[in-house]
Chain A
Amino acid sequence: MSAATDTLDKIREQIATHPIILYMKGSPQAPQCGFSAQTVQCLMQCGERFAYVDVLSNPEIRATLPSYADWPTFPQLYVSGELIGGCDIITEMHQAGELEPLVKDAAKTVVATDD
């Protein structure tokens, strides 16, 4: 299996197994990019746990995800397996009160899918 296929499989598995997952630059505690920082702020205010992947320390994911997702930049937020958007979309949804219900709904599925 090629390295690229491995990376794609890894991405698919991450998105499938984490109902809320953020691909970002840096970590939620130490974001390395203003767009990632602002997205984390919006997400944290929803009050649910979320997974994250630091694409700066995972260059193969940084190289592969944009074409897979048809989304050229980071951060990228996935909820229930679906790309929601980047910083501008997440911020706009947060300000419109649309992000929290979406995230809360997805968080409920964690309990439902646990053994």
Chain B
Amino acid sequence: MATVQERIEDKLAAVFAPEHLEVVNESGSHNVPPGSQTHFKVVIVSERFAGERLLGRHRAVNGALADELAGPVHALAVHTYTAVEWQKRFGDAPMSPPCRGGDGGRRL
């Protein structure tokens, strides 16, 4: 069975045809049990984002991962760039902030 990370990678690859795609499982830095697949960071470079504001870009990513966000995924850091924006950053995406405890991974 595919891991949550693999499912995220497959869905984003299918929807955005990205030039660059990075999905990082950051769960180990958070207040959840070892081996969790709850906190992820995605970095996507795609021309689909051209002319789209950040809010629209992030909604598109969230939409592509709606099943995961409604299920196992608790936190999703999203960094979206066009090829030109990515070049300007020299291929460097921001770090995610450190955990502050949260509620121990409890869901709603």
A residues with a Cβ closer than 8 A to B are: 25-26, 31-38, 56, 59, 62-63, 70-73, 83-89, 91-93
Partner among B69, B75, B97 whose Cβ is within 8 Å of the Cβ of A38: B97
B83 within 8 A of A: no
Contact with B100, one of A26, A59, A70, A84 (Cβ below 8 angstroms): A26
Please state if B77 and A70 are interface contacts (CB–CB under 8 Å): no
Residues of B within 8 A of A (CB): 54-55, 58-59, 62, 66, 69-70, 75-79, 94, 96-103, 108
Nearest-neighbour CB distance to chain A for B58, whole angstroms, equals 6
Could you say which residues of chain B place their CB within 8 Å of the CB of A73? 62, 69, 75-76
B100 A33 Cβ-Cβ under 8 A: yes
Q: Which residues of B contact A85 (CB under 8 A)?
A: 54-55, 58
